Amino acid sequence: MIGNSKKYMYALLFLLGSFQLSAGEELSSHIINSLLSGAKKSPYPAETHKNFAIVTIDSLQFGEVNSGTTVLVNFKKKDVTKTNFTRKGNKWSYASETTIPIQRFEQNEFVEFIQRFSSNKDFQINHTVFPFPINTMKGKEQTKRKLIMPRDWNHLSLSDSYPQILLFKATSDGNNRKIVVFRNKEVKEEFNFIRINKQWYLIEKYEYE
């Protein structure tokens, strides 16, 4: 029986396989497009294809990272699977893969934050900027903006809602992160975070119609 980490490795190999990338296509773009297309094999179990989350390095940009590394954080199992790829021309190929306990993940700061943010209500309140804006978008047009105060706050358990989160080019650099949530092949939610004085804060949310 193939272990979970091996299933993840084989899934990525299936996605990338002999697929020829166009000159400007990135590893991240290809994997995301494969997930959205409903591929039967992917870094996510089949049941999560319609609801999955990705962490981007900078909350002001998405999909711009051209990296040969993917990181799958499994909050439920408390481990991290890191897969490295090499690129020759327009083709990606598998290079190596390791699975380690989540506490040994060298860029663990934001991951630890999400765990605590999800499990501790007081910590979440103290690490959310209020009044908290929720922006409703239709395409690129904002149709509604609502400001939430602490007394009206509903606790977010991100690690339960998205027990597996995919990261590209894991890094501790930069002071911005964005969690992008895909549902039914479209971006439906974005959670923006900023680091101030070595502390992470949730600063805004976007909801897409």
Q: Which residues of 170-193 are buried (b: 16+ CB within 10 A; e: fewer)?
A: beeeeebbbbbbbeeeeeebbbbb
**Which helix (H) or strand (E) covers residue 51, if one does?**
strand 51-56
Q: Which residues pair with residue 207 across a beta bridge?
A: 136, 189
Crossing angle of helices 27-36 and 4-16, in 10° steps, is 100
* Position with higher pLDDT, 121 vs 105: 121
Q: Give residue 178's pLDDT band: very low, low, confident or very high (50, 70, 90).
A: confident
Q: Where are the domains of the chain?
A: 4-208
Cβ neighbours of residue 151 under 8 Å, at least 6 residues apart?
none
Q: Count the Cβ atoms, other than its own, within 10 Å of residue 1.
A: 4
pTM for the model: 0.75
What average pLDDT does range 118-130 have in this prediction?
97
Q: What is the pLDDT of residues 78-119, one digit of tens each?
A: 999 887 777 777 666 667 888 999 888 877 788 899 999 999
149 CB neighbour count, 10 Å cutoff = 9
Residue with tokens 């319609």: 50
Which residue in the block uniquely carries the two structure tokens 């959310």? 128
Share of the chain above pLDDT 90, in %: 33
pLDDT in tens, 1-50: 334 444 433 333 333 332 333 333 455 565 565 555 544 444 445 445 56
Q: Would you state the pLDDT for residue 21? A: 35
Query: What's the confidence (pLDDT) of residue 37?
Result: 54
In this prediction, residues 163-181 reach a mean pLDDT of 76
> Burial of 144 by CB count in 10 Å (0-12 exposed, 13-18 middle, 19+ buried)?
exposed
